[in-house]
Chain A
Amino acid sequence: MELIVEGVSHRYGDVTALDGIDIAARAGEILALIGPSGCGKSTLLGIMGGILAPSAGRVMLAGEARAGTLNPLTYVFQDFALLPWRTVEGNVALALEHHRLDPGERAARIDDVLARTGLGDFRAAFPKQLSGGMRQRVGIARALAVKPSILLMDEPLSALDAQTRELLMEDFLALWLRERITAVWVTHNLAEALRVADRVAVLSRRPGRLRDVVAIGVPQSERGHDAAQRDLAALHDRLWALIKAEAQVAEREVADHGAAG
């Protein structure tokens, strides 16, 4: 399935967060949205998933949903958004309970995603008993349980430490490579975008405009190879040049706010 953004703008009061965005997530690719904080990338993801209404423009869906899809557009959240009073299994089940499924299939789906995300031994644990990485695995398992056609990843690794991020990224890519679900991956981390994305869209800050869309020619499975490293380094430098100036402004602005507050 494809997700097409046509001329989307969004304003919060007087502030223009997004200005004339045209972009599409193509079938079976991971599109990374990258930009400094305050560039409206999370707002754009909210609009792309239909939980935020844009001030102008529209979002279109093209192509057929996958077989067995219960919730075509499914989010994975930065803060995991797990219900603390439900167990791992209960949190995954939440996404299925309101659908008409026979109990056997529901159980099978839960078993399947828990196994795939390595949570089989933790199904009875409560979120507070889990590490951050394990919690996000629950978030991913919950998303996979509804067999989404498009995954909307809202800074899924930003709340985790560097090592956990690395491990989870590996595991996610391994899962993704089997099914190649169309995904939009929002991040402010350039290295992360270069690891997971097929294309990287760079947003400018306030108002958020599309600066550039860069395709990464190397398949995800080969990015660890030495041969790919040079190409990726060049891409990194090019993207960094695009982002750097604005990231500096953004950082100073936050610092000024801190001083004023």
Chain B
Amino acid sequence: MIRSLFAALFAAVVVTAAAQAEPLQLAQAAAPTPVSIGVLRLSSSGPIFIADARGYFREEGLAPELKFFTAAQQVPVAVTSGDADFGVTGLTAGFFNLAGRGALRIIASQSREEPGFQLVAYMVTNQAYAGGLTSLRDLPGRRIGMTTVGSTFHYSLGLLARKYSFDLSRVTMVPLQQLPNMAAAFKGGQVDAILAPVTLARQLEAESAGRIIGWVGDETPWQLGALFTSPRMIEQRRPVVERFVRAYLRGAADYNRAFNQRDAAGREVRGDNYADMIAILARVLQQPAERVAEGLPFVDAQGRLNVQDIYDQVTFWQANGQAGRDVDARAIVDLSFVQGHFNVPR
């Protein structure tokens, strides 16, 4: 209540300030504008952590407050309810259902599934492997464990089905809600395969519980995550959003330079700022640097979105009944904050 009062107050200040350019400069110099960002403690949110640690937000006159959440679903909810001004997280059917009701706008990219970036593994149990499940083409007729229907895992599998032209309904998706449940079902042979985030996949591999037969990034690149805010923010505090995106993009550029360079053979080339950046992530993620280095997703240096892919996602969820018919992809994405987006449909 008090928070929204303050938010309204600030909105009023900013609107008046925007009307008179001079006082805006004064306001910036006087006190930084507080902005809150909903994030998960994942390396895919790296650009935010870097921009925060390197002071890029402060240089834009913003005082960022990071709000950490434990599940991807909570971030868009927090932005919808006004508990966070911005959010970064993976795109799910639930996200589109919220966005489709006018609650969210995508303004820049976050991570992307990209060949050579091993973030989510297709992992099969030893029995299933011995029983002939040795390639992704063999998935039809099998039981595949994942977190939930409508998750990013679900979409990856949908893309895979399209790639190998099998009917998605021929694989049995077993929703297990949580990673520990998935690991347990996998170890117990209750499912033939799971989509496992890299840390879980490496752990299961080390325990010889199963084999990795492919990576989502290699198989089906797609626009996994995005930076988003509420339409209210864009309407009432557009200058703040613009400043925020500028700082975010500097973080994304640093991140990309440090972690995402590859040579002609596809081998990792560490950027000159690697040590600093990995130290920042290790501190925020509260994990050793080596562990963080295991799973660093690709983030576009300029925050550009694969727009067509987002449209495709909406179409996919609608076709599978996970997103409402009334969700309009066009209304969800605001392309005006970042230049040079890819594959913009006409």
A and B touch in the complex (CB under 8 A): no
Task: Give the B-binding residues of A (Cβ under 8 A).
Answer: none
